[in-house]
Amino acid sequence: MSRRFRLGLFALAGPGLAVVLLLGMHGLPAFGHFRGLYGVLANRLEPPLRHATDIVTALNFDLRAFDTLGEEFILFGSVSGVALLLRQLRDEHKDERNRDVADHRFADASDALRVTSLILIPLAFALGAYVVVHGQLTPGGGFQGGVVLAAGPIAILLAGRYFALKALAPAWALEALDSIGAGAYALIGLGGLIFASVYLQNFLPLGTPGKLLSAGTMPLNSLAVGIEVTGAFLLTWTEFLDQALIVERGAR
């Protein structure tokens, strides 16, 4: 397709799309005036019924806990797919003694960058852990905390120690985290089936609203998701970085 042909096509389709969009938006409620009842009901029902103060987490792990189960396994499946696609092929080998990577000459890390990374690691761990365990109380939860937790070890890469990152988070451990987290969420659901005769039903004591251990199974769900997301993200990143830094073409 030539540039002129594409521009001509856009000149025809663009105004059409604009007209349809404008017609569609004409009937929308005004800004900030949502007519649905769902949000209002969730806000009213969840705090007294489940003792959770963050309604988004309550939606994820209680009202729509089954959707979250699906999302868990979408993440699990896609990360498995990445690991499968980026596996070491027969005509490739791992250059573990790649001097560029070992000495970190590939990014020219300065001392200032190394010190900053060192400070970032504990901060990311602390923030990530906080966000995971306070999911039912304040904004955040398993997914959000999990990605922060996963970003912590990546600071080691910034500091120029990719092999140290690989030693701290070996592939088998990340695979285990990913699987254990996904499995734990499904098992917590099974607990609901056993103790409350409904899959994913809240079956633990609800506790005092606003306390760390409140809202029944929600903190456990949050922890399971947090573990899975940490493993999943780190596994994806290290698979990509392995390919970029140490996997070479040609059999050894």
Site residues for other proteins per CB under 8 A: 31-32, 54, 56-57, 131, 139-141, 143-144, 147-148, 150-151, 154, 233, 236-237, 240-241, 243-245, 249
Residue closer to other proteins (CB basis): 131 or 182: 131
> Rounded to the nearest whole angstrom, what is the least distance from the CB of residue 220 to other proteins in the complex?
19
* Residue-wise DSSP of 19-83: HHHHHHHHTSPPTT----SHHHHHHHHHHHHH--S-HHHHIIIIITHHHHHHHHHHHHHHHHHHH
Closest CA to 61 of 139, 142, 127: 142
The DSSP output letter for 251 is -
At residue 171, what is the residue type?
A: A
What HEC string does 193-249 produce? Answer: HHHHCCCCCCCCCCCCCCCCCCCCCHHHHHHHHHHHHHHHHHHHHHHHHHHHHCEEE
Write down the least CB distance from residue 59 to other proteins, Å: 10
Q: What are phi and psi of 249, to 5 degrees?
A: -75, 155
Least distance to other proteins, CB of residue 50, Å: 17
d(CA 126, CA 119): 11
Smaller CB distance to other proteins: residue 224 or 245? 245
CB of 245 to other proteins, least distance (A): 8
Taking the least distance from each CB to other proteins, the nearer of 106 and 199 is 106
Which of residues 126 and 244 has its CB atom nearest to other proteins in the complex?
244
In angstroms, give the least distance from the CB of 37 to other proteins.
Answer: 18
Complex with other proteins: residue 9 or 193, whichever CB lies closer: 9
If the CB atoms of residues 40 and 198 are measured against other proteins, the closer one turns out to be: 40
